[in-house]
């Protein structure tokens, strides 16, 4: 399975949830497959999906799912100690770990080599760290949503992308409709 296959499987359970989606192809795939005002698409700023997600979870009541990638977590490693030490039980960090920088031509990342993000997250003090195979992601994510405990999921999948259109929504509109949805739910 590649990232888009995981997204297709989890869309039924994340469609009505607040989702912060990583820069590049992950956001573009989610936008093409299931555009919702509850999706915050990152159009730039590699690495900060988990930080935006945590800030959002700490500031309101609804469940927040940040969909991140291995390359982005590697570029913002400082996020893991911050997450570990500021527990938000409405926060789920789903790291889709395909061992590559998908949006830039599938260059390998170190998680395809010796580095385990799950072990790093645990060493940083994160509780409820689950590493799983791509095919198990839906079930584990569903359990995490029901469990109402901050959870880090590292979903190991194959490298690969599907053709997607660019996101032609103004960033201020993405932000505005996301905030209106959050206001209505809190």
Binding site for other proteins (CB under 8 A): 20, 40, 42-45, 47-60, 76, 78-79, 81-82, 86, 171-172, 174-175, 178-179, 182-183, 186
Least distance from other proteins to the Cβ atom of residue 23, Å: 9
Strand segments, DSSP code E, in the chain are 18-21, 39-41, 64-69, 91-97, 100-101, 107-108, 129-133, 151-156
Cβ nearer to other proteins, comparing 101 with 178: 178
Cβ nearer to other proteins, comparing 108 with 148: 148
DSSP secondary structure letters along 58-76: TTSSS-EEEEEEHHHHHHT
Least distance from other proteins to the Cβ atom of residue 61, Å: 9
Cβ nearer to other proteins, comparing 140 with 182: 182
Cβ nearer to other proteins, comparing 143 with 166: 166
Half-sphere exposure of 114 toward its Cβ, with a 13 Å CA cutoff?
0
Least distance from other proteins to the Cβ atom of residue 133, Å: 29
Q: 3-class DSSP state for residue 89?
A: coil
Cβ nearer to other proteins, comparing 66 with 134: 66
Least distance from other proteins to the Cβ atom of residue 180, Å: 10
Least distance from other proteins to the Cβ atom of residue 16, Å: 17
Please compute Rg for the chain using Cα positions: 15
Quote the longest CA-to-CA distance of the chain: 44
- Chain centroid to CA 7: 10
């Amino acid at each position: 399975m590649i990232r888009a296959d995981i997204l297709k499987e989890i869309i039924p359970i994340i469609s009505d949830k607040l989702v912060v989606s990583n820069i590049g192809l992950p956001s573009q795939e989610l936008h093409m497959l299931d555009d919702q005002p509850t999706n915050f698409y990152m159009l730039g700023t590699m690495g900060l999906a988990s930080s935006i997600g945590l800030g959002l979870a700490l500031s309101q009541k609804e469940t927040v799912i940040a969909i991140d990638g291995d390359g982005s977590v590697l570029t913002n490693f400082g996020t893991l100690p911050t997450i570990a030490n500021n527990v938000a039980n409405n926060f789920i960090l789903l790291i889709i770990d395909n061992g590559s920088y998908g949006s830039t031509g599938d260059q390998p990342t170190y998680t395809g080599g010796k580095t385990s993000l799950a072990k790093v997250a645990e060493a940083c003090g994160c509780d409820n760290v689950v590493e799983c195979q791509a095919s198990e992601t839906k079930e584990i994510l569903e359990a995490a949503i029901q469990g109402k405990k901050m959870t880090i999921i590292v979903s190991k999948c194959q490298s690969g992308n599907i053709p997607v259109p660019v996101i032609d929504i103004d960033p201020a509109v993405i932000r505005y409709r996301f905030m209106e949805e959050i206001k209505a739910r809190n």
